[in-house]
């Protein structure tokens, strides 16, 4: 049987589903998570949130240096932005059976706007030290209701293990930091 072709100039309708229902492999999943993070970080809403946090907090939570004097980063802690995205992605697949990068970005940004993520303002050099393994962050310095994720989402074991480690780091047991009542003194 021969299907008829549309006449020249006639438009055909193509329907595709924009939802993701599953991933072919881990590589595809990781690419999807990376796309979600890029969408979040490049959004106007995330920019507004970061400006608000920096203008409200106004200081590195370690050195108390002003966000106006030097570059201060917002570090997600004890859940990284990537882990927050993964947790939200897992929830959407579990509850809806499907998701999009837009759905995930919206939920993650909503968590930010409702102050349901943990974060620490820190000067760029200390942020680099943390990511290079040379700085611990006492959990007392974390702003935002980071416990909300633990209480309202299912946390995968690999992420829970990292968060438990970060939660165990306190001002009392952090070997290279000393609290003098107003400032944290970083002991080289």
pLDDT of residue 4: 58
Please give the pLDDT value at position 14.
77
Is 18 inside any structural domain? no
Q: Tell me whether residue 147 is in a domain.
A: yes
Residue 116 lies in a domain: yes
Asked if the model's pLDDT at residue 28 lies above 70, the reply is yes
User: The dihedral of CA 37, 146, 120, 112: what is its sign?
Assistant: positive
The rounded distance, in Å, linking the Cα atoms of 160 and 29 is: 19
Q: Considering the domain boundaries, does residue 109 fall inside one?
A: yes
Task: Give SS3 for 132.
Answer: coil
Nearest to 19 by CA among 91, 89, 99: 99
Mean residue pLDDT across the chain: 89
Q: Is residue 12 part of a domain?
A: no
On the 0-12 / 13-18 / 19+ scale of CB atoms within 10 A, 61 is buried
| pLDDT (0 to 100) of residue 58 | 87
Question: Is residue 143 helix, strand or coil?
Answer: strand
Whether the Cβ atoms of residue 91 and residue 36 lie closer than 8 Å to each other: no
33-84 tens-digit pLDDT: 999 999 999 999 999 999 999 999 889 988 888 888 888 999 999 999 999 9
Rounded Cα–Cα distance for residues 153 and 64 (Å)? 33
Task: Render the burial of 12-23: b for 16+ CB within 10 Å, e for the rest.
Answer: eeeeeeeebeee
pLDDT at position 18 over 70:
yes
Query: What's the whole-model pTM score?
Result: 0.86
Per-residue pLDDT band for 15 (boundaries 50, 70, 90) equals: confident
Token pair of 23 as six digits: 């991933």
Classify 104 as helix, strand or coil.
helix
155: containing domain: 26-183
Query: pLDDT digits over 167-187, tens only?
Result: 999 988 876 655 555 545 555
Q: Phi first, then psi: give them for residue 75, nearest 5 degrees.
A: -105, 120
Confidence of residue 102 (pLDDT cuts 50, 70, 90): very high
What are the pLDDT digits (tens) for 117-150? 999 999 999 999 999 988 899 999 999 999 999 9
Q: Tell me how many domains the chain contains.
A: 1
Residue 65 lies in a domain: yes
Give the chain's length.
188
């Amino acid at each position: 049987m021969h299907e008829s072709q549309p006449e020249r100039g006639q438009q055909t309708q193509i329907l595709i589903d924009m939802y993701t229902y599953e991933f072919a492999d881990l590589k595809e999943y990781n690419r999807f998570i990376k796309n979600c993070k890029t969408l979040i970080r490049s959004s106007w809403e995330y920019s507004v949130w970061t400006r608000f946090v920096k203008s409200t907090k106004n200081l590195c939570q370690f050195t108390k240096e002003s966000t106006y004097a030097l570059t201060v980063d917002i570090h997600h802690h004890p859940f990284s932005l990537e882990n927050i995205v993964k947790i939200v992605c897992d929830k959407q697949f579990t509850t809806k059976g499907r998701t999009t990068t837009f759905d995930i970005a919206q939920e993650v940004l909503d968590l930010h706007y409702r102050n349901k993520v943990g974060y620490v303002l820190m000067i760029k050099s200390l942020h680099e030290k943390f990511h290079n393994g040379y700085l611990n962050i006492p959990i007392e310095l974390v702003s935002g209701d980071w416990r909300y994720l633990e209480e309202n989402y299912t946390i995968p074991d690999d992420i829970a293990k990292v968060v438990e480690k970060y939660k165990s780091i306190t001002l009392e047991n952090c070997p290279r930091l000393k609290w003098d009542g107003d400032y944290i003194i970083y002991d080289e």
